[in-house]
Amino acid sequence: MNADRSSQLIARDVHVCFGGINALSDVNLTLQQGEVYGLIGPNGAGKTTMVNVLSGFQRPTQGSVQLDGADVGLRGPHQAARMGVGRTFQAGRLFKELTVLENLTVAALSSGLGSREAKTRAGTILDWMGCSDMRARRCDSLSYGNERRIGIGRALALAPRFALLDEPASGMNDAECDALMHLIASIPREFGCGVLLIEHNMEVVMGACERVHVLDGGKSLAEGGPAEVMHNPDVRRAYLGDKAAAKTSHTMRAA
């Protein structure tokens, strides 16, 4: 399937305030269908709050989220999913008593498919992910890394226009992260959807994302191509601190 770039998920001037504390302040971003877009930042930067807003789990205090002109932020997560926004969670949230195939089938059913078509879609996704040998396994028997992979499959079973992936590489070893990077990079081509990726593993971000948006303290710090963003001194300072960032800059110039 060719990556379709006809749809946009747009956040405009998003503010989220919890008890007088600004979790997000004046954040703007545009995610194109058919691209992999990274959302990164230090711990506490507001990344998961942003995904919650984009997927209807959190109403913005101010601002809006629109999918092709329709307001997502006021409709809640179920309506957002029906509009075409699927997501994963840092905690897997799988139905642990069901099998892997059943978990994906339930998601496909919720997109409006009949039972036979839903099971076929679920099986096709598992085959594509290289997880066909897990079909009959109960999800309470999965490793943490496999839970994250199946969570991605379940999001894709919704046939979303946009899949929001919240730290999918967490808990994975280097080989698993490398495989995941290639899988995420191929999602737009295989499924025609856009991907928003929150991830601390910078190798996965650099290898999978076309554009990267950096949050720090709930505010937008930088946006651009992965290499451009990683060389931004403000971004290095946010991740490494002033002294380490200055040392890194000196080392890069010397090289």
For residue 4, the model assigns a pLDDT of: 57
DSSP state of 85: E
Going by C-alpha positions, the residue among 39, 16, 28, 93 that lies closest to residue 226 is 39
For residue 91, the model assigns a pLDDT of: 66
Residue 46 belongs to domain spanning: 8-90+161-225
Asked, for residue 170, whether it belongs to a domain, the answer is yes
Tell me the two tokens of residue 246: 């200055």
DSSP state of 19: T
Asked, for residue 72, whether it belongs to a domain, the answer is yes
User: Which residues are registered as beta bridge partners of 14?
Assistant: 27
Q: At what angle do helices 115-129 and 144-157 cross, to 10 degrees?
A: 130
7-25 confidence digits (pLDDT tens)? 999 999 999 999 889 999 9
Which amino acid, residue 30? T
Q: Which residues of 135-171 are buried (b: 16+ CB within 10 A; e: fewer)?
A: eeebbeebeebbbbbbbbbbbbbbbbbbbbbbbbbee
Asked, for residue 116, whether it belongs to a domain, the answer is no
Q: How many CB atoms lie within 10 A of CB 92?
A: 19
> Rounded CA gap, 22 and 119, in Å?
43
Asked, for residue 26, whether it belongs to a domain, the answer is yes
Tell me the two tokens of residue 8: 């946009």
Asked, for residue 74, whether it belongs to a domain, the answer is yes
Asked, for residue 204, whether it belongs to a domain, the answer is yes
The alpha helices in the chain, defined as continuous H runs, are 47-54, 76-83, 100-110, 115-129, 144-157, 174-191, 202-208, 226-230, 233-240, 242-254
Q: Provide the number of structural domains found in the chain.
A: 1
Render 42-58 in DSSP notation, one character per residue. Answer: STTSSHHHHHHHHTTSS
Q: What is the CATH number of the domain that holds 37?
A: 3.40.50.300
Q: Which stretches in the chain have pLDDT values below 50?
A: 1-2, 243-255
For residue 77, the model assigns a pLDDT of: 87
Asked, for residue 109, whether it belongs to a domain, the answer is no
Asked, for residue 136, whether it belongs to a domain, the answer is no
The answer to whether 221 and 215 have CB atoms below 8 angstroms apart is: yes
For residue 241, the model assigns a pLDDT of: 67
For residue 242, the model assigns a pLDDT of: 54
